[in-house]
Each structure stands twice: as structure tokens, then as C-alpha cells.
Amino acid sequence: MEGAREYAGLFKTGQYGRLYIVSSSHARGKTFRIYVLPDGEEGLPNGSANPPLNKDAVEVYGVISGNPGWTESYGWIHQGKWKGDFLRMADLRRQEILMENKKMETSVAKNSEEITKKKLDLLSTYQ
């Protein structure tokens, strides 16, 4: 859904510092919510698609318009320091994913070269 797709692929549901992220999907697309937990409180998981069980957690990013499950749009419900912290986390996560992808591409290329060399070596022995 609009505003959720961008972040849902970056994070799994769970606690990140004082932020509790709920990253999921439904039949029409990705869903993404962020809750601020009380200082010093651990997030109480409530399944991968549900808000934490912490009764004092505050949703700061979630559905801001549309019909939930159909046409919802996601955005910041409350502005504050958490927004900057989250955006920095998202940038770092994007960089991590980019590095992981580059590492994987290098590994695949190396493996492919080794396979090609093995084939050529074998074929060169044919007389």
C-alpha cells in the first residue's frame, strides 16, 4: 500500500531500540506501522502482523487515509525525534542490503567463473 511498500521490505517485525516495527502484508499489498515504546520497556510481540501488546505504546507511523485493507495510505501520524532516528535506520538498512547484494553478485560471478573453468578444463582433455 502507498507509503508502506518502501519500508516493509527493509525491516522485519520487531523492536529496534524504542521503536517497535510491524511489517506485514495483506491481499492488497504491504503494511507498515511504527510504535514508540515507553522508555526502558521491552516490546511485547503480538504476532508478526499485529501491534505490540504494550498498552502504552504509541503508533507514530501507520494508516493516515483511505479504507484499511483496500486503499489505505501510510505516513507519519505524529512528528518527533523518532522520525529522524527511523529514517537514519532505514538509510543504514538500505546500505546493508546493497552491500549484501553486491557480495552475493560477487559470489555468484566467482562461482560461475569456476564452473566455466571446470567445463573448459574437462573439454580440453577430449581427444
Mean pLDDT over the full length of the chain: 89
Query: In the prediction, which pLDDT does 33 show?
Result: 94
Query: In the prediction, which pLDDT does 99 show?
Result: 92
Q: Where are the domains of the chain?
A: 5-124
Please classify residue 81 by burial: count the beta carbons closer than 10 Å to its beta carbon, then call 0-12 exposed, 13-18 middle and 19+ buried: exposed
For the chain, strand residue ranges (E) read 14-16, 19-26, 29-36, 58-65, 73-76
* Number of other CB atoms surrounding residue 10 within 10 Å: 17
Q: What is the pLDDT of residues 63-115, one digit of tens each?
A: 999 877 778 899 999 999 999 999 999 999 999 999 998 888 888 887 888 88
Q: 41 in the Ramachandran plot: left (φ > 0), alpha (ψ -120 to 50) or beta? A: beta
Q: Cell for 68? A: 484499511
Q: What is the pLDDT of residues 31-40, one digit of tens each?
A: 999 999 999 9
Query: In the prediction, which pLDDT does 1 show?
Result: 47
Name the residue with cell 499489498.
29
Whether the predicted pLDDT of 51 surpasses 80:
yes
Structure-model confidence comparison of residues 87 and 117, the more confident one: 87
The pTM assigned to this predicted structure is 0.76
